[in-house]
A = this chain, B = another copy of it.
Amino acid sequence: MVSMVHNHLLFIKTIDNMPKNIPINSKRVTIKDLAKELNTTTSTVSRALHGHGTISEGMKSKVMELAKKRNFSINRYAANLRSGSSKTIGVIVPRINRDFFSNCIAGIEEVTKGAGYSIHIAQSHDILSNEKEIIKSMIESNVCAILISIGLQTTEKSHLDQLSYYGIPFVFFDRAISESSYNRVLIDDFKGGYLATKHLLDMGYKNIAHFSGDQNLEIYQNRTKGYLAALEHHGIPFNDELISKQCLTSDCGEMSIERMMNLPNPPDALFSSSDYSALGALLFLKNEGVKVPEEFGIVGFSNESFTSLVSPPMTTVDQHSIEIGKNAAFACINILKNTNKVNTTSNIVIEPSLIIRETSNRFKTKHNRPNDI
């Protein structure tokens, strides 16, 4: 009988009872076992398994063969304890189900794999206490380095200082602490915000609203700065009523745009620092019968895959997420290679691209093609 979650959604249909998963080997084969069987020593077996040091071809193949035959599996804990290195890099993101972050991870995986490191993925769910726990656990597990995109709540950095204390290098990607003395791989968020806003102005929209995220995160600050700069370059004064600075979700997007549309002088366009809140606005406007892009232009940020699927397809800023991940991993591996040598800090900035789709293209100009799934 298994324990079950009681829930109206659930229905336990069948519960079989039969013996299963009985350990066939209660004790794992160790290099000591292999050594004994081959009348040699553990050091020789260890050398043979790694091809390290000096080892005769004959002994090597004998060991390899027996290891296979006995289904030997190395004990990483023992190896890492002894060698002092885990060959593991920790990766921390707010959430794994955002296309942006999962693409970063894909890039990281590719590079770290090539360099012989494995990764440990963890998500903070944007909760600071989770982030702290994850870092604590990663220190305990002796990760060689950490790649991190911080959570929305991360205003203090004591847990990151811990990493420095333990000599564990870390590289921020995308969401970073605002200090260039850290290793960071960012996109040029200012430029992203500028391009997006300028594009709306070029399309003839006049009164451009803006959603952004918590301004203690540099990325949102910079997207907002880009927005303001574009307005300024066009000689348009900004209107505080048209800015919503804690608006990253679909729900918030709906509410914010509803409020703004009821202003005496409502906006005719929106640049949002988040695809999700841009989507909320789009859904609200469609529901109200406001025509997008004819009467209202929208540009989001991140190129989440749904942006190409909604109707009309949404203009957005692509962050080259895979490249961000690759660069962060490269920077990290470089640091690991150069430990004890000259320490350098890398601040890599990647250029964003505006992907023009239909929500902003009121003249139906042909632009670059939307991305498909």
Contacts and interface: CB of A to CB of B under 8 A. Distances in A.
A39 interface: no
Contacts of A86: 77
A17 interface: yes
A351 B12 CA distance: 8
Contacts of A272: none
Contacts of A118: 137
The DSSP consensus for interface residues of chain A is: loop
Given A18-B344, A344-B17, A330 B2 contact: yes
B96 A25 contact: no
Contacts of A372: 250-251
Contacts of A14: 180, 347, 349
Interface in A334-367: 334-335, 342-351, 353
Interface string A120-163: 11100000000000001101111000000000000000000010
Number of copies: 2
Contact of A306 (B28, B309, B345): B309
Contacts of A331: 2-3
B182 A9 contact: no
B10 A327 contact: yes
**A2, A122, A140, most chain B CB atoms within 10 A:** A2
A263 interface: no
B347 A16 contact: yes
**A13, A249, A286, A342, most chain B CB atoms within 10 A:** A13
Contacts of A120: 120-121
A164 interface: yes
